[in-house]
Amino acid sequence: MTETITINEQTFIMHCSGALLWQEKEILLISDVHFGKVSHFRKFGAAVPQKAIAKNFELLNEVLALFKPKQLFFLGDLFHSSLNQEWLLFNDWVSSQKLKITLVKGNHDIISDVNYTAIGIDCSDEVELDDFLFTHHPEERETMFNFSGHIHPAIKLQGAGRQSLKLPCFFKSENQLILPAFGTFTGTFTLKPTAAHQVFAITKDSVFAVPLSH
In a domain, 16, yes or no: yes
User: What integer pLDDT is reported at residue 40 of this predicted model?
Assistant: 43
Q: Is the pLDDT of residue 108 over 90?
A: no
> Contact at 8 Å (CB) between 154 and 189?
yes
Evaluate if residue 76 carries a pLDDT over 50. yes
Instruction: Give the domain extent around 87.
Output: 2-209
For residue 184, being part of any structural domain is answered with: yes
Q: Return the minimum-mean-pLDDT range out of 16-30, 116-130, 155-169, 191-205.
A: 155-169
- Does 185 have pLDDT greater than 70? no
**CATH number reported for the structural domain that contains residue 62 in this entry:** 3.60.21
Residue at 25 is within a domain: yes
Characterize 81-101 residue by residue with b for buried, 16 or more Cβ atoms within 10 angstroms of its Cβ, and e for exposed. beebebbebbeebeeeeeeeb
Residue at 33 is within a domain: yes
pTM for the full model? 0.90
Residue 114 · residue 100 · CB < 8 Å: no
The three-class DSSP label of residue 125 is coil
pLDDT score of 47 more than 50: no
Whether the pLDDT of residue 96 is over 50: the answer is yes
Residue at 214 is within a domain: no
Average pLDDT estimate for 57-82: 91
**How many domains are there within the chain?**
1
Contact 181, 56 (CB under 8 A): no
Average pLDDT of the segment spanning 154-181: 90
Higher pLDDT, 85 or 198: 198
Task: Pick the range with the lowest mean pLDDT from 13-22, 36-45, 58-67.
Answer: 36-45
Using pLDDT thresholds of 50, 70 and 90, give the confidence band for residue 113. Answer: very high
100 φ/ψ sector (left φ>0, alpha ψ -120 to 50, else beta): beta
Tell whether the model's pLDDT for residue 213 goes beyond 70: no
Assign 82 a pLDDT band (cuts: 50, 70, 90). Answer: low
In contact, 167 and 201? CB cutoff 8 Å: yes
Q: What is the pLDDT of residue 183?
A: 75
Q: What is the mean pLDDT of residues 73-89?
A: 82
